[in-house]
Structure 1
């Protein structure tokens, strides 16, 4: 393993999924993106960490509702609403088309329709209300866990499904993900689920929470994967963004249900 090459792949992932400037020496080659896929969950953890810091800082001045909105705004700003765009495009395409060709055509259209707008409003409102209802430390830690783990499950489709477009901005990423790269992504993205109350040694409750969340995410992954294959024969970049948003929101909802039960 070449440390310099791995650093280049990490910066490639950071530059692809966020608006954070990366060093000029990193450069860019299309094959970097597929090699960088293993670092996507780590980038997610950094985005979640930024959201958590903004939330905890804002909480010193503002009510929880405002603090959560500011943290959400920070994550949207740093990512350029990259995954939210996929959610809206997929909602429009799957909700408004019947044939495979129409789904792909609508998904490729940059304009947002009624289904996409409704999906965005519901998803953002659910995130907001769920995080507001959580204790501060749990909300902050779940932001990190959800951003990281959701990206792990989303990119796992690269290992099992086919990319359905001949060309596309996700095409360089969409080469078949190796087992080693997937395991690296798992190590970067899933351990955060064991610290639902902050960076402390996980107790029995944390293990149960992590196990329940992993099982739910696996079930969702299976259902969404089958749906993608049935509708379009595989996945697109928008499908990965859609899946990431569903996984992230599901983690927040499980976290809220866990403390409410």
Structure 2
């Protein structure tokens, strides 16, 4: 029994060491770009969205794959907590970002489980000298099936601390109206698919107009994601 217990303890220690090496490696290699979110009425930069770059250090080709791998191996909460701190450091070091907000995308699977380090983001924000109402946590319809009662309670706890919530990639999935109802987000980000060529596609413009009107009724602001041309910008403005 003693030998078996010692072996188990050793295996646990080795697993912990391997996890730390993995997280340290990703932390050293991964970088964040801050993409501005502009108020369409005033032209003023309202916030910055943290976008992961150089995630190939984890052996994955994209941030989505990196999150999937971390979830499969059981260290997604630790990874997201580390990435949040790194994005926070980038944001607070950007002088022109003072007075704006930071948008950070949380995969959110198993959010709020016992000892989840992601539930300590309030402490990280306070340590950075920022306020929770400067941080908007984004959740995607991609993980709709993993949003449990525990997840909802966790999100509500974060909102009680002052964090804002956004529903990302709206329009990509089939169950988003339910998610829009359940999450009651502060922001709705329309998927880029519906914005590409919106100036020449009446159906896309109708969709965006409908979402903007619905979000307004629900008390949420709408963000058009990835607008790249002046005609797209003008069409989005006309769509509300």
- Using structure 1 for the length normalisation, give the TM-score: 0.23
Which is bigger in relative contact order (C-alpha 8 A, separation at least 6)? 1
Point out the structure with max Rg over C-alpha.
2
